[in-house]
Structure 1
Amino acid sequence: MPEEVGMQEMATLKTIAETLNTSNDLSLMLDKVVGKLLELTGLSAGWLFLIDERGEYTCVSDYNLPPALMRNDKEPMRTGTCWCVNRFRDGRLQYAVNIINCKRLEDAVEFKWGDTSDITHHATVPLRSGEQMLGLLNVAAPDKVHFSDSELALLQAVAYQIGSAMERMRLYRAEQRRAQLYARLGDFGAALSLTVNECTETDALPGTVVRLLGKHFDCPFAALIKQTDERFHIQAVYADGHVSMGAAAPLSLEGTRLMDRIIDHYRAAVLTADELVDIFGPDQLELNSRQFGTGIGVPLPYPSPEEPGVLVIGTGTRSLGLIRADSEVMEALAEHIIAARESLKLADHRRELARLEERNRLARDLHDSVNQILFSLSLTARGAESMLSGTEPRHPAAEAMKDIRALSQEALKEMRALIMQLRPAGLEAGLLSALQEYGTKQGLQVVADRIGIRSIPRVMEEGLWRIGQEALNNIRKHAEVSTANILLECNEHEAKLTISDRGKGGAKRRKPSSENSLGLSIMRERAQSLGGRLEIWSSSRKGTTVTAVIPLPYESE
């Protein structure tokens, strides 16, 4: 008899093994194997729970459930808790055991949910692959209240087979998912490179990135978040097929803590639905657990550690195993985003060099043509004035020649100032020295001072130089004073250039349409193009103060 039982158990294990190898679809395979197991063992009902690392369970397969457990689309199998799930969660369930009774069936009797098919007890078997715990297999039969040791041993052997097959399928699905994502990553990278080549503004990159993420990856939403001035701000969001730029308000305290955790971890992190709501807020994106599920937060290794960033991508309701496959690809995707950002900065630098070369060419042409003509006109007018002034009586045209000479000299002075603005000379000696020299040539006495030592990038230094030139020009033309003060303050984060005078003021009273206000508009545009701001304060009794504040990039030691 024992030999026959042994042969029957071996036949059962062989049949189960064959069933497990008939499909690579997890749900279909589990349905088949549960049905085959019940058929071979003479049991009548069975169900299988998968339990993730957070302890959340899902009934992924069932066979011949009692009607009481089928009510409301199998609600008793989707909600509540029971002895076997609790034992699994706290690590006390390691081997196949008898369950004295089933709480779900007890509730069905107590609340009169329907017929339980005379099932009151079941055996529960943990599913595992190596040290990894995967879920539970429960089997039962009417009026069966006890399982023998040999029955439990057979169930445990079957559970090992199921666990190994599940792990094999998980790895297979993860590799499939990884291959698909890398193919999409290639398409995303090509599209991003093409877009960067056509993009002219760095600020447009976040919106472009999230739009391409929504197009090439099956994510319900994607967002770029960056830290500025020690606060995290949303740069751009893709959700429901639309792209929106981030709000000005910073993230909440809970969202900030999550961002810090992701950045400090240096790797992709899985985010729950509640954590996504903490980051974005329930009102801003209308996130909810059913729609968006979980997500992945990926640190963006920007060159400046003072301004780190995070990419957040929704994963929907995919399994944790597939989310891990997503995480690996998302880390590679973050590198693509950083490379695109650096490419755009290099393109901006190339365009700036091209503009500088064009200004230098224009300055040379003006010097070789108009400047020389004005100089010749001034000399000719001087000669004619001398000839006409020497006659008796004084020729009437002498006064006109004097006016022509004065106007030509003034035009020559303006032309030289324009050439100097087009082609800044003297920046090699420093911004303050160049502005001081420029002010002296404009007939101003310039008092310059500096606070803080910090190198300023060439593009930003030239921008401040242009702003300073225009401010000194305004002092010469409108302030009716001969003295100007310049202060340059630098720290780790910003450079602040202040040009002030004690003149008659009135800078803010100029009409927007007037020629004089054009210089103020140009100064403000230059500051904004460098990511900074321009502040103007003017008083009829205390003069005018122009302050340009420009943020500086991170400078490694």
Structure 2
Amino acid sequence: MVVGEPSDITLLKEIAELLNEETDMVRMLEGAIRKLLSGSTFETAWIFFIDEKGKHQLVAQANLPASLEDNNCRHLQKGGCWCVKRYHDGDLEKASNIIACQRIENAIPAKSRKQGSITHHATVPLQSGKEKFGLLNIAAPDTVSFSKDELALLESVAFQIGSAIKRIGLTKQEQELALVKERNRLARDLHDSVNQLLFSVTLTARGGVEMSEDTSVQETFRDIQHLTQEALNEMRALIWQLRPKGLESGLLDAIKGYGEMLGLTVETKMTGVIQLPSRIEETLFRIAQESLNNVRKHAGVDQVELYLSVTATDVLLVLKDEGRGFVFDHKANLPSIGIQSIRDRAKAEGGTADWSSEIGKGTEILVRIPY
């Protein structure tokens, strides 16, 4: 099989069309490898994304044997292997036959292998220019190695997939930039219009208290002043949420600044060196925002303790108050909008969020996110 024959050209064209039409990363990758399997002698495929630290993530798979698919693809999800190590070390530059695969050996011990089983695989890096994303692995039953022509086809498909990954990444960056711009615009509009209007109402109500001699009228103006001040505080908090201030000076400073804006004193302790990806940093800031909002609204205290621990693999954020506390039903699907928001933000980054609270003894929130 030589790339350039009508069947291969048709297959590459069909894969290219699928890659160009799809906008969701996982659907795109799974669709591409399924198309590859249907038009070639390859029968099994899976894709790893691999980060700068050599940590891999299984992002797509197709037609895996039961032994590799077992227990949520445990043998592909966990542990190390030769091809991932070679990729991380920069020694894997083209499609290659892998002599021995630790993952297959662990999933299918030699004594359990039989005719028609997967024993080896080939691998090829996914990249666009000098930017590398991970590996495409393919296999077929009773196949120890693939021919040069088959590896050439694999390289052509990998080139297409790498270019598509780059395209989706750039599209996502553009969307995120557009979202940031829209948040900034909305924050400016709220500050310049609604925020200023509420401030003017507060001053007017204060003047009404001083000018009136009627006790009932004064009380009415005081109520207006109080409600308007509360609305003004809510508006300032909303503007902070739309356009985080202080992150350029560091995560802890930003959280402390937000707490001060809410009238809270945030005592911080930290272990490790904060060198987090901007995405993780903003997620932690948003989670801290929501937590501090809950303290201000429900805890009845103005002191909060915040602990941040950063290791080589993950970051732990703990926020603790000694306020009223609450009864939290862990079996509830939606305990509250605020708690669900924190949980969703942590989960979106592959992390977890847990609570510990007791009436009269405060609340502790623990968030752990890998990076």
The interval holding the TM-score normalised by the smaller chain is 0.7 to 0.9
Does residue 293 of structure 2 align to residue 467 of structure 1?
no
Structure 2 residue aligned with 1:314, among 139, 142, 154?
A: 139
Question: For residue 320 of structure 2, what is the aligned residue in structure 1?
Answer: 500
Number of paired residues? 359
Distance 1:234 1:395, change over 3 A: closer
- Structure 1 match to 2:30: 207
What corresponds to 1:365 in structure 2?
Answer: 189
Q: Which of 336, 341, 346 matches 1:522?
A: 341
Q: Which residue of 2 aligns with 1:192?
A: 19
Conserved 8 A contact 2:47-2:58: yes
In structure 2, the residue matched to 1:351 is 175
Shift of 1:251: 0.9
Q: Quote the sequence identity (%).
A: 31
Distance 1:494 1:358 in 2: 31
RMSD: 4.0
Q: Distance between the aligned counterparts of 2:9 and 2:346, measured in 1?
A: 41
TM superposition shift of 1:542: 4.5
The alpha carbon displacement at 1:338 in A equals 3.3
TM-score, normalized by length of structure 2?
0.79
Mapping for residues 386-465 of structure 1, pairs under 5 Å: 386-388=210-212, 390=213, 394-465=214-285
* Aligned equivalent of 1:181: 8
Q: 39, 42, 47: which is aligned to 1:219? A: 42
2:2–2:150: 8 Å Cα contact kept in structure 1? no
Q: Aligned partners of 1:257 and 1:293: how far apart in 2?
A: 16
TM normalised by structure 1 equals 0.55
Contact residue 454 and residue 492 of structure 1 kept, 8 A: no
What amino acid is the match of 1:493? T
Q: Distance in 2 between matches of 1:226 and 1:534?
A: 25
| Residues 312-339 of structure 1, C-alpha deviations (whole Å, 9 max, x = no match) | 323467896x723111331343343333
User: Matches of residues 321-340 of structure 1 in structure 2 within 5 Å?
Assistant: 323-340=147-164
Q: Which protein has greater RCO, CA pairs closer than 8 Å, 6+ apart?
A: 2
Distance 1:276 1:467, change over 3 A: closer
Structure 2 gap ranges (5+): none
Shift of 1:293: 7.1
Residue 507 of structure 1 contacts residue 544 of structure 1 at CA under 8 Å; is this kept in 2?
Answer: no
Q: Distance in 2 between matches of 1:354 and 1:543?
A: 40
Match of 2:160, SS?
A: helix
Shift of 1:205: 4.6
CA deviation digits over 1:22-66, x for unaligned, max 9?
xxxxxxxxxxxxxxxxxxxxxxxxxxxxxxxxxxxxxxxxxxxxx
Query: For residues 317 and 513 of structure 1, what CA distance do their matches in structure 2 show?
Result: 47
Query: Letter of the aligned partner of 1:499 in structure 2?
Result: L
Find 2:208's aligned residue among 384, 392, 416.
384
Q: Write the distance in 1 (CA, Å) between the matches of 2:310 and 2:21.
A: 38
SS in 2 for 1:549: strand
Answering whether residue 365 of structure 2 is matched by residue 538 of structure 1, we say no
Q: Which structure 1 residue ranges, 5 or more long, are not aligned? A: 1-173, 553-557
Q: Is the 8 A contact 1:188 1:216 kept in 2?
A: no
Matched position secondary structure for 1:219 = coil
Deviation by residue 1:503-544 (Cα, 9 ceiling, x = unmatched): 232262599698x81111111112222232222222336422
For 1:345 and 1:414, how far apart are their aligned partners in 2?
Answer: 35
Larger Rg: 1
In structure 2, the partner of 1:149 is: none
- Distance between the aligned counterparts of 1:537 and 1:302, measured in 2? 44
Q: How many Å separate the matches in 2 of 1:297 and 1:318?
A: 10
Amino acid at match of 1:192: L
Deviation at 1:382, TM superposition (A): 1.9
In structure 1, distance between residues paired with 2:358 and 2:174: 41
Secondary structure of 1:289's aligned partner: coil
Q: C-alpha separation between the residues in 1 aligned to 2:261 and 2:309?
A: 24
Aligned twin of 1:251 = 75
